[in-house]
Amino acid sequence: MAAEEAGPGLEPEPEPEQAEGGGQPFPVRPSSRRLVVPASWLSPSGSLPPELGAWFPRLEELDVSGAGLSALGPELLGLGRLHTLLAKNNRLGGAGSLPKGLAGSPLGLALRTLNLSGNRFAQLPEPLLGLRGLRSLSLGSNRLQSIPAAIQGLSSLEFLYLGGNFITSVPPELANLPSLSYLVLCDNKIQSIPPQLAQLHSLRSLSLHNNLLTYLPREILNLVHLEELSLRGNPLVVRFVRDLTYNPPSLQELAGRTIKTRNVPYVPNDLPGNLLRYLSLASNCPNPKCGGVYFDSCVRQIKFVDFCGKYRVPLMHYLCSPECSSPCSSASQSSNSQSESDSEDEAIVAARRMQKVLLG
The CATH number of the domain holding residue 176 is 3.80.10.10
* Number of independent structural domains in the chain: 2
β-strand partners of 357: 305
Helix (H, G, I), strand (E, B) or coil at 281: coil
Q: What is the pLDDT of residue 84?
A: 97
Q: Which residues pair with 300 in a beta bridge?
A: 318
Choose one of 230, 254, 278: the last residue of a domain.
230
- 256 and 199 both lie in a single domain: no
What pLDDT is recorded for position 198? 92
Q: Are residue 218 and residue 316 in the same domain, yes or no? A: no
| Stated pTM of the model | 0.64
Same structural domain, 6 and 101 = yes
Same domain, 210 and 268: no
181-204 pLDDT tens trace: 999 999 999 999 999 999 999 999
DSSP 304: E
What b/e sequence results for 324-336 when a residue is b if at least 16 CB atoms lie within 10 Å of its CB, and e otherwise?
A: bebbbbeebeeee
Q: Are residues 288 and 218 part of one domain?
A: no
Domain that holds residue 157: 1-230
| 176 three-class SS | helix
Say if residues 150 and 127 touch (Cβ distance below 8 Å).
Answer: no
Q: Could you say which of 198, 230, 262 is where a domain stops? A: 230
Nearest partner of 43 among 63, 71, 4, 15, judged by Cα:
71
Domain check: are 55 and 194 in the same one?
Answer: yes
Nearest of 223, 181, 227, 188 to residue 208 by alpha carbon? 188
Do 213 and 292 fall into the same domain?
no
- Whole-number Å distance between alpha carbons of 174 and 183: 10
Range with the lowest mean pLDDT among 41-45, 105-109, 230-234?
Answer: 41-45
Task: Kindly give, in sequence order, each residue whose CB lies less than 8 Å from that of residue 293, ignoring residues fewer than 6 positions away.
Answer: 256, 257, 260, 261, 282, 283, 284, 285, 320
Report yes or no on 104 lying in a domain.
Answer: yes
Domain co-membership, 226 together with 253: no
Domain membership flag for residue 346: yes
Task: Pick the range with the lowest mean pLDDT from 68-82, 117-131, 164-178, 270-284.
Answer: 270-284
Mean pLDDT taken over the chain: 78
Same domain, 188 and 262: no
- Domain final position from 204, 230, 256: 230
Among candidates 116, 170, 168, 174, which has minimal Cα distance to 141?
A: 116
Asked whether residue 161 falls in the same domain as residue 14, the answer is: yes
Other beta carbons less than 10 A from residue 244's beta carbon = 14
What is the C-alpha separation between 125 and 96, in angstroms, rounded? 9
